[in-house]
Amino acid sequence: MPKSRQPSSGFSDPEPQHSPSGAGWLPHGYHLAPHSHVQGQLVYAAAGTLATTTERGTWVAPANRMTWTPPGFAHSHRFYGGTDARLLNIPVALCGQLVEHPSVFAVSPLLREAVLALTGDRPESRPGAHERLLAVVIDELSDTPEQSLHLPAPSDDRLRAVTDLLHADPAQFATLAELGRVVGAGERTLSRLFHTELGMSFHRWRTTLRIQHALAHLTNGMSVTDTAMACGWSNPTSLIEAFTEIVGQTPGSYQADLRNERR
């Protein structure tokens, strides 16, 4: 991935305990190093895709989703494709109305327009307009179910060794038993740990990992067929089925939406 660089405009690299609001176009692979905020933070890719990582795992948000990080959580961001990044700080007094853990939410048309207005460069049109728009954002998020693009991180050393191997090569076809032999753990033990620690099966965790990588490739312009091969699917149809189930649209429609947003 490219090394971190200064954003093109709108906001600067956040410092610990400071949460900026603003907008900026960021290059593919741009990375914001781990930091935390006193306030909560919403990050929205109006075009492109972003990944937010904390000690609890990674949340990926394409252009129809938004990441939420409550106050005090150390987190980092990585952006894929040319990203129109929108950062919106949420005052501590309002954070209690949202979930207490990092998450990803779907972005309704109303929520999108409110965030774009709050992070744009237009001055406040009337006194109190900012607060009213922020209240709309909170209301929309309070009524929006969390989405499924969260990849939880393990704490057990044996399970972490397996997930590290998968992170290093998401396309590998190794079974859980084969991975267990590499790290010195039994298949049944690892299967149990996936369910108890991560709340999902080995297959579901690896599929979510592959979808996250697929989003990065598709956002950067890779074809559906090449993305399927790069991420470990034997054919494009398998990718399309998994992508549609988890993201909620086909890879082709996702790329079409990206093109429309960039225009």
Residue ranges, comma separated, of all CATH 2.60.120.280 domains in the chain are 22-150
pLDDT value at residue 123: 72
φ, ψ (nearest 5 deg) of residue 161: -65, -40
* CATH number of this structure's domain 22-150, picked from the four choices 2.60.120.280, 2.170.190.11, 3.40.50.300, 2.40.30.10: 2.60.120.280
- pLDDT mean values, one per 10 residues, the chain (263 residues): 37 40 86 92 90 89 87 92 90 92 89 91 77 92 76 94 95 95 96 95 96 92 95 95 90 85 66
pTM of the model: 0.79
For domain 151-262, say whether CATH 3.40.50.300 is its number: no
Give the integer Cα–Cα distance in Å for 251 and 243: 7
Contact status, residue 226 vs residue 90, Cβ threshold 8 Å: no
pLDDT value at residue 263: 64
pLDDT value at residue 20: 52
Strand partners, 83: 26
| Residue 19, token pair as written in the block | 């949460």
